[in-house]
Chains A and B, each alone.
Chain A
């Protein structure tokens, strides 16, 4: 078994009296792909945002390689280098070309050489089929292309873990596939990922472990995705998965 990479202990996150995440604990091992599913408002996106310290937390702790990840902590920029994140709205920097979008952080944050970063960026772009678009601006790309660039941008920082927050939710249906294929190939290559998604077939195909979240708590956890999607153990998960079926009842 691979070594433990991320450990979330008794995480508590809330706004005022409203708890979004309530005493959640979870560990992620290196190379593992965790898929988090659940009804909207269950706290799954908030969970990812907490792991990247974009939210302050009210209790518990998050450790990456044994080091705490916490918003406004002095080490936070260094910690975030190790945690890549891709958002639903593929927020590329509109004033920079595709290549500049990818190379900006490696050069400014990691102080890497321009030539070396560019070469890596081009290789990655080639892998997602967008090498010829390197000098375009984000607005010239389709949603699916932008999302692939956003993934490359995160990868170029060599993160230890990649957080994908509903990365296909804003895409036209015909573009979903091209993005998910990229993620599948990353999983095959052994990347550690935490994925929030509504694409159940994709979840089933990629997950090493499925987490079903509701009201900020883990309701069901399964290391056998196929079994989970066919015969969930809890009634809540069964009801949730049922909403994706269209048989008349």
Chain B
């Protein structure tokens, strides 16, 4: 392995990491917003919107991000909808992530026993008060492991961004391999940079999960 070459590649990888992180976290944020909006629609059973939301969730959960990005980036401009690669990346991540988050939030809500709502209401709480003070806090707590798994999944999924010509880590590695044929060096750097990006999230996730389990069962 040629360490000098690797060192000379570092700035390129660093820039790619920042780009990936920026789009990744914006996408995650968007996913949380979409997921929250969708789960509220589903919870309140708003007609029409409820059906549309269900359709959206199934469609995006059952198709690959790569295909979704191709549709957003190559197909939509043909009917006059043009977006920058970066915006497409965020939106794509937000859309697929929103579908997954909706499912996670929904099962979080379902995990709160019905009798919790009943005992809140039997204390005279309105449905809104019961949702705010009794149901939601418990639903969020039990959704946390799922949310973290989704975050890791979404950050991993950013690896397809190179197909819509975003200069992310994959793009950089592929580009450098193509130009200088230093395959091993490029791949080692690629792995290291993905570890830098994902290991902290994964570790933080396990710690948080253990803490939550502790809070739930108290041992």
Q: Which residues of A contact B (CB under 8 A)?
A: 52, 54, 77-78, 80-81, 83-85, 87, 89, 91, 93-95, 104-105, 108-110, 137, 139-140, 150, 153-154, 157
Complex Cα distance, B120 from A150, in Å, reads: 11
> Can you name 26 A-B pairs with beta carbons within 8 Å?
A52-B122, A77-B121, A77-B124, A80-B122, A80-B123, A80-B124, A81-B123, A81-B124, A84-B122, A89-B115, A91-B113, A91-B116, A93-B116, A93-B119, A93-B138, A94-B138, A94-B216, A95-B137, A104-B123, A105-B123, A108-B133, A109-B123, A110-B124, A137-B218, A154-B122, A154-B123
Minimum CB–CB distance for A161 against chain B, Å? 12
Known interface pairs A54-B118, A91-B119, A108-B133; A157-B124 also in contact (CB < 8 Å): yes
Mark B148-180 against chain A: 1 for CB-CB distance below 8 A, else 0.
Answer: 000000000000000000000000000000000
Complex Cα distance, B9 from A186, in Å, reads: 78
Contacts of B66 in A (CB 8 A): none
Contacts of A85 in B (CB 8 A): 119, 122
| 8 closest A-B pairs by CB | A81-B124, A105-B123, A85-B122, A91-B119, A80-B124, A109-B124, A139-B218, A77-B126
Tell me the B160-219 residues at the A interface (CB within 8 Å): 216-218
For the A-B complex with A80-B123, A109-B126 known, give 8 more contacts whose Cβ atoms are closer than 8 Å. Answer: A52-B122, A78-B124, A81-B124, A91-B115, A104-B123, A105-B124, A109-B124, A150-B119
Known interface pairs A91-B119, A104-B133; A140-B218 also in contact (CB < 8 Å): yes
Interface membership of B10, Cβ < 8 A: no
Q: Which residues of B contact A (CB under 8 A)?
A: 113, 115-116, 118-126, 129, 133-134, 137-138, 141, 216-218
A105 and B116: CB pair below 8 A? no
Complex Cα distance, B118 from A80, in Å, reads: 11
Complex Cα distance, B125 from A108, in Å, reads: 8
Minimum CB–CB distance for A182 against chain B, Å? 18
Complex Cα distance, B119 from A157, in Å, reads: 13
Contacts of A52 in B (CB 8 A): 122
Contacts of B113 in A (CB 8 A): 91
- Which residue of A54, A95, A139 contacts B217 across the interface (Cβ within 8 Å)? A139
Complex Cα distance, B137 from A80, in Å, reads: 23
| Residue from B115, B123, B124, B129 whose CB has the most chain A CB atoms within 10 Å | B123
Complex Cα distance, B119 from A83, in Å, reads: 11
| Residue from B113, B133, B141, B216 whose CB has the most chain A CB atoms within 10 Å | B133
Q: Is the interface of B mostly helix, strand, loop or mixed?
A: helix
A83 and B129: CB pair below 8 A? no
Instruction: Name the residue on B nearest A156 (C-beta).
Output: B123
A80 and B119: CB pair below 8 A? no
A87 and B125: CB pair below 8 A? no
Minimum CB–CB distance for A240 against chain B, Å? 27
- Which residue of A84, A87, A95, A153 contacts B115 across the interface (Cβ within 8 Å)? A87
Complex Cα distance, B123 from A78, in Å, reads: 9
Contacts of A154 in B (CB 8 A): 122-123
Complex Cα distance, B70 from A40, in Å, reads: 61
A77 and B125: CB pair below 8 A? yes
Contacts of B133 in A (CB 8 A): 104, 108
Contacts of B216 in A (CB 8 A): 94, 139
Contacts of A93 in B (CB 8 A): 116, 119-120, 134, 138
Minimum CB–CB distance for A31 against chain B, Å? 21
| Residue from A77, A89, A140 whose CB has the most chain B CB atoms within 10 Å | A77
Contacts of A140 in B (CB 8 A): 218
Complex Cα distance, B215 from A140, in Å, reads: 11
A109 and B137: CB pair below 8 A? no
Instruction: Name the residue on A nearest B138 (C-beta).
Output: A95
Minimum CB–CB distance for B216 against chain A, Å? 7
Contacts of B138 in A (CB 8 A): 93-95
Contacts of A78 in B (CB 8 A): 124
Complex Cα distance, B217 from A157, in Å, reads: 29
Complex Cα distance, B138 from A105, in Å, reads: 17
| Residue from B124, B125, B138, B218 whose CB has the most chain A CB atoms within 10 Å | B124
Minimum CB–CB distance for B116 against chain A, Å? 6
Complex Cα distance, B218 from A83, in Å, reads: 32
Minimum CB–CB distance for A9 against chain B, Å? 22
Complex Cα distance, B119 from A92, in Å, reads: 8
